[in-house]
Structure 1
Amino acid sequence: MPNELMQLFKLIGLGLVFLLPMANPLTSMVMYLSLGETLSAQEKKQQLRQATLYVILALLITYYAGLWITSALGISMVDMRIAGGLIVAYIGFRMLFPPSVSEVVSKAADQNTAAHDNIAFVPLTLPSTVGPGTMALVISASSKMAGMREHYAQWVLVATPLILALLIGLIFFICLRSSLSIVRVIGHNGVDAISRIMGFLLVCMAVQLVLEGGQQYAATLLTHSAAS
């Protein structure tokens, strides 16, 4: 059991390292502060609770159904890793060299006009927290987890995605709930600095995804060449 707990902590730690820079609750925090200015305190709390639930559900649905959907569409994991890596790289560069906050908030506000101040799903959940890059990472992780059954206990593989989704949701909730205090302590420059660091990590992760996909694609070509 101690060994299995270590396996669980290891997978959860790796999951947080990969997912947090991609989900980037700091971006959602800025949007929540800006777009929620017209909402009452009660409405803000309601939107926050809904957004947290949506984030958790979106992560779990992507993990459990994403691989099946991509398989049904004929999209291989090699395609997913390369495409996901390119998306993650784009998002990472956008975080390293971001547009002005006013531009981001203005676009989000335009998208949200028809939603009658309902910001829980769009833009707080999609695309801010669980966007295409996050989905690509989660689906890629789902594929990898399926091949780890020989090395990890079954209950660890079952519990890890559930715990990770809950932890991401909890971190999202805490960041948005404490958004005013966080900005007051670290300032907008601090938020920008952390966001740029996360952007750099995303670019590194993107390189890894593209290289993994490229290696698998090359191996597939060599196998077909040898067979013919």
Structure 2
Amino acid sequence: MGHLFDAITLGLLALLPLINPPTTVALFLALSQGLSREEKNQQALLTAVNVFLIMIITYYVGALIMDIFNISIPGLRIAGGGILIIIGARMLFPQPPQPSVARNEAERASFAFVPLAMPSTAGPGTIALIISASSALKHNTTFPAWVIQVAPPLIFLATALILWGCLRASDLIMKVTGRSGIDAVSRIMGFLLVCMGVQFAINGSLEIVQTLINNNIQLLRNS
């Protein structure tokens, strides 16, 4: 059991900085304005479930899916960056409210998967780390084979539970900040999301350029 505990601890230490629950909580506060407490709790649970499913699917079949559709990690970063830029711009420059147009349940629940679960929480960096770890663990000799099989789902479950607990605690933050504070947080998070999206796109573009340079260097050496 000691090996299992060590593996879970290492996994959480690697994932939590990328998941960054405090950032997700701030985004959750900004997006959940106007929802009742029950609706917020439902969104918190849906977000945690979505994050768990994204991580577990990525671990077991992520590399295969990306190979089938010929998707690269840089491409994933650029696409995720574009999504964050669009969502961040909407938060930074919100449309004036229209009382005559009621938001239906599907529209109100739409932020549980995008952008909270993906790409804000289980984003390109997290997906890249999980796919890399999945490949590396196939040749791992540090932990017993049974730990390699059992630890990843437990790591993803623990990560989702931590995120769920943080989102459930968002009401306490809202009581302290008030509506004006939430509006300020919304605009700040919108700006940060735009910055994150641009950085994702830059990183993806740089990876593509670096790959092209390395390929050209390899061709020159071979010739």
TM-score (ref. length: structure 1): 0.64
Tell me the distance in 1 between the aligned counterparts of 2:212 and 2:22.
Answer: 25
Matched with 1:15 is 15
Q: Which stretch of the first structure deviates more once superposed, 61-70 or 213-222?
A: 213-222
1:123-138 to structure 2, matched below 5 A, reads 123-131=111-119, 134-138=122-126
Structure 2 counterpart of 1:147, which letter?
Answer: A
Contact 1:33–1:179 (Cα < 8 Å) also in 2: no
Contact 2:19–2:122 (Cα < 8 Å) also in 1: yes
* Count of aligned pairs between the two proteins: 214
Structure 1 counterpart of 2:76, which letter?
Answer: G
Matched, 1:27 2:23: no
Matched with 1:147 is 136
Contact 2:62–2:131 (Cα < 8 Å) also in 1: no
1:71 CA displacement: 0.6
**1:83 aligned to 59, 75, 99, which one?**
75
Matched with 2:48 is 52
CA RMSD, aligned part only? Answer: 4.5
Query: Does the C-alpha gap of structure 1 residues 211 and 8 become closer, same or farther in structure 2, counting only changes over 3 Å?
Result: farther
Contact 1:63–1:142 (Cα < 8 Å) also in 2: yes
**1:219 aligned to 196, 214, 219, which one?**
214
Structure 1 counterpart of 2:136, which letter?
Answer: G
1:82 CA displacement: 1.9
Identity, % of aligned positions = 18
1:144 CA displacement: 1.5
Contact 1:81–1:210 (Cα < 8 Å) also in 2: no
Structure 2, unpaired ranges of 5+: none
**2:166 aligned to 165, 168, 175, which one?**
175
Q: Which stretch of the first structure deviates more once superposed, 212-221 or 166-175?
A: 212-221
1:177-196 to structure 2, matched below 5 A, reads 177-185=168-176, 187-188=181-182, 189=184
2:91 aligns to what SS in structure 1? coil
Contact 2:82–2:197 (Cα < 8 Å) also in 1: no
Tell me the distance in 1 between the aligned counterparts of 2:191 and 2:115.
Answer: 18
Tell me the distance in 1 between the aligned counterparts of 2:151 and 2:190.
Answer: 26
1:131 aligns to what SS in structure 2? helix
1:174 CA displacement: 2.1
Matched, 1:162 2:153: yes
1:116 CA displacement: 7.2
Q: Which stretch of the first structure deviates more once superposed, 25-34 or 187-196?
A: 187-196
Matched, 1:100 2:109: no
